[in-house]
Structure 1
Amino acid sequence: MDARFLGIAELTETPSVAVVVDVMRAFTVAAWAFAQGAEKIVLAESQADALALKARHPGWAALKDGAAAPGFDMVNSPGLLRSADLGGRTVVQKTTAGTVGALAVKDAPLVLCASFVVADATARLLRARGSDSVTFVVTGEDGQAEEDLACAQYIARKTVEAGANAAEFLRRAADSRAAAELTSGVRRGSHPDDVALCLELDRFPFAMVATSEDALMVLRPCAVPPSPTDGAGPDLDAAADPDPGLDAAADASI
């Protein structure tokens, strides 16, 4: 597999397959939102757009980076989100890096959003697709975020080497600037457990596929059964799978 690792600003053409990585915290939060029952996540261009979407759809929940703000229901923290009841709801997400990266590759035929908590499922989906060329979008710190690069490199290796060891990649993420800032409380709208939750490998059995729906970029979970060569893999029935019907929709989109 030909893997490229690019920052958002380095994207000069539409890739055939894009994996957009934001470990701390956009796509860890997105996975937790699905685990808490969210039907889908709409990736918003701006906070104003997020609030406008919520105004048009009063039942939707809006989520942003940083401290709480009027009109927003949640902040971009897995530690805070894990107690939310999002059963059947649509979440509108706007973050500084993750959602920006996904929207930058919205025209790609296949867009996956990823973090460590869905790393194995993401690699298995890439492997099942037989993707020869994959662009990993490293969203944080202008493409230099160590936690995002480590996760992207791990998924790339896991795609071609099912038994790849994650220890060194997780160590790099744990030592990253983002982890230090979350631990020290520099980043607002956080929870003491955020770093640990962001480094929880393969917590969820689904990948996350983003597609265009009614002019919106929409993220949905897609369960990926283990291939015969993967071993037992995660228990898809026991783990958080919000709605099996969503898997068929996501599969149809790719």
Structure 2
Amino acid sequence: MDAHFLAIDDLAEVPPVAVVVDVMRAFTVAAWAFARGAEKIVLAESLDEALELKARHPSWVALKDGPPSAGFDHVNSPGLLRAADLGGRTVVQKTTAGTVGALAVKEASLVLCASFAVAEATARLLRSRGGDSITFVVTGEDGRAEEDLACAQYIARRATGARTEAAPFLRRARTSRAAAELAEGVRRGVHPDDVALCLELDRFPFAMVASPEDSLMVLRPHPAPAPAPETSV
């Protein structure tokens, strides 16, 4: 497998397969939304689009980065979302990096959205459907976010079937700038458990696949394929 690790702005062309990584916190939150019963997640282009979608579909649940805001039901925090009842609901998500990255590769033949919470399921899906060339979109900090790069590199190794020790990758995420900002309250709309929840490896048994539906980019959970035999490296 030929893996490429690119920032959003470095995407010169549409990759055939893209894995968009946002550990802290967009795609950890998305995984929790599905675990809490959400049917699908609409990835919004802008805050205005998210509010317009919510206005047209009052039963939908809108969430965003930062502090609580009028028109939005939740903020982009796994700790705050984990108690929500989203059974059968559609969630509209707009974040600073994760949703932007997914929309940047919306024309790829396969788009996965990932975090440590769904790492193994994502790797298994890549083994079965990924092909020879996979582009990992490192969304945070203009492609320099250590937690996103660590997660992307871990998934890339697992996608080859290689036995891989997760601890060094999780350590990089735990000591990242994003983790420090969440822990120190630099970012708004944060729960004290957010960092720990973002570092829960393989918390959920599904991958997350994004694809166009009725002019919208929609994220849905996808069951992980059965595990393949691992190889030593």
TM-score range with shorter-chain normalisation? over 0.9
Residue 80 (structure 1) aligns with:
80
Does structure 1 residue 23 correspond to structure 2 residue 23? yes
3-state secondary structure, aligned to 2:72: coil
Match for 1:21: what amino acid? V
> Secondary structure at the residue paired with 1:196?
helix
Percent of counterpart pairs with the same letter?
77
TM-score by length of structure 2 reads 0.97
> Retained in 1: the 8 A contact 2:161–2:229?
no
Unpaired stretches in structure 1, ≥5 consecutive residues: 231-254
Q: State the match for 2:95 in structure 1.
A: 95
Deviations 1:93-120 (A, max 9, x none): 0000000000000000000000000000
Code of the aligned partner of 2:86: L
CA-CA distance at 1:162 after TM superposition: 4.1
- Alpha-carbon RMSD: 1.1
d(CA) in 2 for partners of 1:42, 1:93: 6
2:204 is matched with 204
- Look up the match of 1:160: 160
SS at match of 1:117: helix
CA distances 1:19-43 after superposition (whole Å, capped 9, x unpaired): 0000000000000000000000000
2:59 aligned residue: 59
The superposition leaves residues 212-249 of structure 1 with CA deviations (integer Å, 9 ceiling, x where unpaired) of 0000000000001323426xxxxxxxxxxxxxxxxxxx
Please say if 1:38 is aligned against 2:38: yes
Q: 2:216 aligns to what? A: 216
Unmatched 5+ residue regions in structure 2? Answer: none
Question: Any idea what SS the aligned residue of 1:41 has?
Answer: strand
Indicate the SS of the match to 2:229.
helix
Distance in 2 (alpha carbons) for counterparts of 1:6 and 1:150: 13
Query: 1:130, CA displacement in angstroms?
Result: 4.8
Q: Which stretch of the first structure deviates more once superposed, 104-113 or 221-230?
A: 221-230
- 1:92–1:130 CA distance, 2 compared to 1 (3 A): closer
d(CA) in 1 for partners of 2:207, 2:126: 10
Query: Aligned partners of 1:90, 1:31: CA distance in 2, in Å?
Result: 13
SS at match of 1:229: coil
User: 2:220, 2:94 → 1: CA distance?
Assistant: 16
Q: 1:132 to 1:228 in 2, by over 3 A?
A: closer
What is the CA–CA distance in structure 1 between the aligned matches of 2:58 and 2:68, rounded to whole Å?
18
Query: What's the counterpart of residue 111 of structure 2?
Result: 111
* Structure 1 residues 111 and 132: CA distance shift in structure 2, 3 A: same
CA distance in 2, matches of 1:225, 1:143: 29
What are the equivalent positions in structure 2 for 1:227-242 lying under 5 Å apart?
Answer: 227-229=227-229
**Letter aligned with residue 33 of structure 1:** A
CA distance in 2 between counterparts of 1:226 and 1:195 reads 29
Query: Is the partner of 2:92 in helix, strand or coil?
Result: strand
Give me the whole-angstrom Cα distance separating, in 1, the residues matched to 2:153 and 2:134: 11
Query: What residue identity is the alignment partner of 1:32?
Result: W
Change (3 A) 1:124 1:146: same
Counterpart-to-counterpart distance in 1, 2:228 and 2:175: 35
Cα distance, 1:164 vs structure 2: 1.2
In 2, the alpha carbon distance for the partners of 1:225 and 1:45 equals 31
Q: Which residue of the partner structure matches residue 171 of structure 2? A: 171
The one-letter amino acid of 2:69's match is A
Provide the residue aligned with 1:233 in structure 2.
none
Q: Distance in 2 between matches of 1:136 and 1:160?
A: 14
Per the normalisation by structure 1, the TM-score is: 0.89
